[in-house]
Structure 1
Amino acid sequence: MEFAEVVRRRRMVRNYDPDRPVPPEVVERLLAHAVRAPSAGFSQGWGFLVLESAEDRARFWAATTPETAGPGRWLTGMRRAPLIVVPHSNRGAYLDRYAEPDKGWTDRDERRWPVPYWHIDAGFAALLMLLTAVDEGLGACFFGIPPEREATYREEFGVPPEFTPIGAITIGYRAADHRSPSLRRGRRPVEEVVHRGQWS
């Protein structure tokens, strides 16, 4: 598929065919592409938890679903995904890397960072997985883990304290789903969001 077509077709898919697993070679391509993402100082401070078995996926949903969440259409369709990948960032990897001699800093002071590039770079990796899914004929959806459920998620899967989940990605073969009501807002035109030479 041409790259422009991949970008055009990318959208968040919220319902999957539960009877079609993602082939192992496709899972490996998703992950191989993820680690091709750019990272500040080539720090590569990411980590990916891959959940393929029905048991592991059930553990994920039990650990991350708020107790107040009802059995809505969104959750029902998302739970059908045969693959979940949770990308994590590692702040310490970046602070350590930029305290190395070739970077010119001698400490790990987080105030040197205008924005948390450890999260941004993990997000780049997540986007490459979303685009790869489209290229492979799959659907995918990136979504957040509720903050009040992060501790439960960490405990359930033994996530080390230095790694922070930036969200999760469901991946699988698309099933019929409903358009998100948010899409009624329409895509903002390029002319509205791009400023050339000066903001105003």
Structure 2
Amino acid sequence: MEFADVVRARRMVRNYDPDRPVPPDVVERLLAHAVRAPSAGFSQGWGFLALSDAADRDAFWAATTPPGAPESRWLAGMRRAPLIVVPHSNKSVYLDRYAEPDKGWTDRDESRWPVPYWHIDAGFASLLVLLTAVDEGLGACFFGIPPDRTTAYRDTFGVPADFTPIGAITVGYPAPDRRSPSLKRGHRPVDQVVHRGRWLAGVPEN
């Protein structure tokens, strides 16, 4: 697909065909593209957990879903995804990298960072997974892991303490279209969100 077509076609898919696994070579391309994302100082402090076995996927949903929670339409559709990719950030890698001689800092002081680039860079990598999925004829959805279920997730999969899951991505072949009600909101026009020259430029008066 042309890049512009991939961007226009990308949307969050929340229901998948459970009988069509993601081919192994496609899984590898998804992950290979993820690590091509930009990262501050070329730190590349991310880590990815790829879950394609049914037992591993079931363990993921058991760990991240509150006990006794009813299976919603959203969860039922998401559980059908044949692949889950969990992107993680690693703050320590960034603090270490920027304490190296070529960066000019002599310590690991987190206050030097205007925003947590370790999370941002893992987000960049996640977007490449989403776009690659579209290019491969697949659907994907990025979603969050509830904070109170993070410990259960870590324990289930042995995630090291330095790695923070920033969310999770389901991937698979979309089931017959069932669009999210959120899509009725439509895309906000460029002139509503882009400010040229100064922030107030182009903002309608009340």
* TM-score grouping bracket, smaller chain normalisation: over 0.9
Q: Where do residues 52-71 of structure 1 align in structure 2 (5 Å cutoff)? A: 52-67=52-67, 69-71=69-71
Q: 2:203 maps to what in 1?
A: none
Is the counterpart of residue 194 in structure 1 residue 194 in structure 2? yes
8 Å contact 1:46–1:88 — kept in the other structure? yes
Q: 1:119 maps to what in 2?
A: 119
Instruction: Show structure 2 runs of 5+ residues with no match.
Output: 201-206
Find the aligned partners of 2:195 and 2:41 in 1 and give their Cα distance. 29
Per-residue CA distance 1:119-159 (angstroms, 9 max, x = gap): 00000000000000000000000000000000000000000
Q: 2:130 maps to what in 1?
A: 130
Deviation at 1:177, TM superposition (A): 4.0
**Between Structure 1 and Structure 2, how many residues are aligned?**
200
Q: What secondary structure sits across from 2:191 in the alignment?
A: helix
Deviation at 1:187, TM superposition (A): 1.3
Which of 62-71 and 184-193 deviates more?
Answer: 62-71
Deviation at 1:68, TM superposition (A): 5.1
Normalised by the length of structure 2, the TM-score is 0.95
Per-residue CA distance 1:54-73 (angstroms, 9 max, x = gap): 00000000000122531111
Instruction: Show structure 1 runs of 5+ residues with no match.
Output: none
**Structure 1 runs (4+) greater than 6 angstroms displaced:** none
Q: 1:87 maps to what in 2?
A: 87
Deviation at 1:34, TM superposition (A): 0.1
Find the aligned partners of 1:73 and 1:129 in 2 and give their Cα distance. 24
Q: 2:154 maps to what in 1?
A: 154
Q: What secondary structure sits across from 2:171 in the alignment?
A: strand
Per-residue CA distance 1:89-119 (angstroms, 9 max, x = gap): 0000000000000000000000000000000
Which of 69-78 and 96-105 deviates more?
Answer: 69-78
Q: 2:110 maps to what in 1?
A: 110
Find the aligned partners of 2:46 and 2:168 in 1 and give their Cα distance. 13
Normalised by the length of structure 1, the TM-score is 0.98
Q: 2:12 maps to what in 1?
A: 12
Per-residue CA distance 1:26-72 (angstroms, 9 max, x = gap): 00000000000000000000000010100000000000012253111
Deviation at 1:184, TM superposition (A): 2.2
Q: 1:145 maps to what in 2?
A: 145
Deviation at 1:179, TM superposition (A): 1.7
Is the counterpart of residue 170 in structure 1 residue 170 in structure 2? yes
Q: 2:47 maps to what in 1?
A: 47
8 Å contact 1:14–1:177 — kept in the other structure? no
Find the aligned partners of 1:185 and 1:18 in 2 and give their Cα distance. 29
Which of 63-72 and 118-127 deviates more?
Answer: 63-72
8 Å contact 1:12–1:140 — kept in the other structure? yes
Q: 2:204 maps to what in 1?
A: none
